Chains A and B, each alone.
Chain A
């Protein structure tokens, strides 16, 4: 039996108030449970996407690193490093937030990762074609990394919301509602007890009065 809430006087008013609170708690519990289920299904969906996106990103990056290594082998890693310091056109992203059941998740719009050769900002004369391959592959890999960032952030936000909702559902189900119900039962029993007390008291008084009247008549 759950413990009762302290400091509630056993009156009919309080019983009525408790009844309303129980109704509200049960309704809230039902709603939160629905929210939790919806969040979980969304969460599992995004988890799937994270796994796919992560595999794809790793694959792309591995490919890009291989090309980078080749470029370094052909041109020397110092030369590659020098060229990488030349800044061409920069990749920019638009980050918007989307709302999934009260959870803010990012939505990243990429403004075209792939650039033309000229936009990359280095000359063609003294660079190997391997470097172009590496650049192109890194551009693609960065696109994947950005997508991964989006889903990964979503999965984290959703997970923390799922945990929070789960805790609320459990608190209502196992603590708040049982306590309210136990208190209501307690008040009901106290009221019944008081009624019985009153009944016996009245009986006693009646008996006393009758005994007094009989004594008066006898006298």
Chain B
């Protein structure tokens, strides 16, 4: 597979930053807006390799994102959550730690 694009979903500051950095597939969304339509479009597009999405938007659309990761057959597009201009969200339960626990059964 070759030459895939990156897409970004987030607030206007994140999007303008990523556009300055050379990402052209960008979608400005407000936190309370559902992103199902945008996601469906990006998944259908085979030239999109990585989707960057801000944590705040991702949190508001958790169920849609989970469904997407479960349903996808190919490796791409890879979904990655990024922090926005307010910095990363400090979580009580780190999703990575939760994943480790469910996979191995112990916390490290």
Contacts and interface: CB of A to CB of B under 8 A. Distances in A.
Interface of A: 40, 43-44, 47, 50-51, 54, 57-58, 61-62, 64-65, 68-69, 72, 77, 80-81, 83-85, 87-97, 104-106, 108, 111, 113, 115, 120, 131, 134-135, 137-139, 141-142, 145-146, 148-150, 152-153, 155-159, 162-163, 166
B27 to A, nearest CB: 13
B96 A139 contact: no
A54 B87 CA distance: 12
A69 B87 CA distance: 13
A155 B79 CA distance: 13
Given A90-B24, A93-B5, 5 more contacts: A54-B96, A81-B12, A105-B75, A113-B22, A145-B52
21 contacts: A40-B104, A43-B104, A47-B100, A61-B82, A64-B17, A80-B16, A80-B20, A81-B12, A84-B15, A84-B16, A90-B22, A92-B3, A93-B4, A94-B4, A135-B21, A142-B21, A145-B50, A153-B78, A156-B99, A159-B100, A166-B103
B44 interface: no
Contacts of A105: 75
Given A47-B96, A50-B96, A92-B5, A139 B17 contact: no
Interface in B16-47: 16-24
A81 B19 CA distance: 9
Contacts, number: 150
A149 B4 CA distance: 14
A148 B50 CA distance: 10
Contact of B103 (A61, A84, A163): A163
Contacts of B93: none
Given A58-B87, A94-B1, A163-B103, A148 B80 contact: yes
A92 B4 contact: yes
Nearest to A96: B1
A137 B78 CA distance: 22
Contact of A146 (B6, B75, B84, B99): B6
Nearest to B70: A160
B4 to A, nearest CB: 5
B83 A156 contact: no
Nearest to A140: B21
A1 B88 CA distance: 53
Contact of B22 (A51, A104, A139, A166): A139
A149 B50 contact: yes
Contacts of B85: 65, 68-69
Nearest to A137: B21
Contacts of A58: 83, 87-88
Contact of A142 (B18, B88, B96): B18
